[in-house]
Structure 1
Amino acid sequence: MPAAGTVFRCTPTRVYAGDGPIWCAEGQRVHLFGIAARETDESCRANQPCPTAPARAAKAELVRLVSGPGPESGAKAAAGSARYIPVRGPALSCTSTGWSGGRRVGAWCASPTSGDLSCAMVASGTVLPWPATWRNHRC
């Protein structure tokens, strides 16, 4: 588990939900920091923002962002109901915020093709910034 402040590489291999985790070929499971998405059952956790966009839309958007440009980017997540969506995309540069529950690391991640993933997800309208963790983050 990368300690808070550590910059690490994440080559995405699969995505679970709109805020992660993103499985990395290097072994980490990354939960995107600063954002809140609906749970896969469409519920929202208590004491966190609840976006209006469905969980499937957020998942499809994250798949598209980590997969990079391509004709089938996000298509599998939008069309299917698979629990984990396999992805192939360029390596992400992530900065750990520390442990995020379970075997996940919280992190701010950037893609060379999509930029800051938390910012891109908020801009897509499929997730909301979570003020308790977003703090002074700038897009």
Structure 2
Amino acid sequence: MSRSRRRPRLPSPPVKRARRRSHTWRFGAAVAGVAAAAFLTVVYWPLDDDLERLVPKLERMVAVEPEPETGSAAAPTGDRFACDVAYVNDGDTLRCEDGTRIRLHAVAARETDETCSPGHPCPNASAASATAELRRLAANRTLSCERIGESYNRITAICWTPADVEINCAMIRSGTTVVWDRFNRERAICRSW
């Protein structure tokens, strides 16, 4: 019998198996990047266009009170402030010398083009008569005002003349404007200071 020589069996080369890679870390990194981009967009978005509008809000948030201007009594003290009336825009809006725009709280007047906006109360009196009445009450006077809120970059407020006449109420009683009930329920006008 012949013996055949057996060759030693060499180990076969390792079979390359497909590696399963987890893409979870890539997904997590992508989500984190999107979240960071969204956060930065929200935080910094309005700085170019609306900086003037945001500064007063930021000052209120950090309780920084602006320094009073020389000759102006419009520096706020809490929710009450003084307004040296520079201009009467229409029957429910005026401007202080320091540039503050005030919208009379809970008062509705016709627009200067004699229209009333949809959903707003509409008085029978003309816009011109309401403007004339507000000028008579407030023009060139220093008013004491109580801040109620904000509306379209204006402070909504209840204001009083130096003789302690509530302008909001006087405008209603004159018949040139009407009470805006929705806002009057939040803070009623025609109350004494």
* 3-state SS of 2:120 partner: coil
Fraction of identical pairs, as percent? 40
Higher strand share: 1
Q: What 5-or-longer segments of structure 1 have no aligned partner?
A: 68-87
2:91–2:130 Cα contact (<8 Å) kept: yes
Aligned to 1:106: 156
Higher helix share: 2
Of the candidates 74, 87, 93, which is equivalent to residue 14 of structure 1?
Answer: 87
Aligned to 1:80: none
Detail structure 1 runs of 4+ shifted over 4 Å in the superposition.
none
* 3-state SS of 2:190 partner: coil
TM-score normalised to the size of structure 2? 0.56
Which of these two proteins has the greater Rg computed from alpha carbons? 2
Is 2:172 the partner of 1:63? no
Q: Using CA pairs under 8 Å that are at least 6 residues apart, name the structure with larger relative contact order, 1 or 2.
A: 1
Is 2:84 the partner of 1:34? no
Q: CA deviation at 1:114?
A: 6.1
Q: CA deviation at 1:134?
A: 1.2
Is 2:23 the partner of 1:23? no
2:166–2:190 Cα contact (<8 Å) kept: no
Q: What 5-or-longer segments of structure 2 have no aligned partner?
A: 1-55, 61-77
1:9–1:26 Cα contact (<8 Å) kept: no
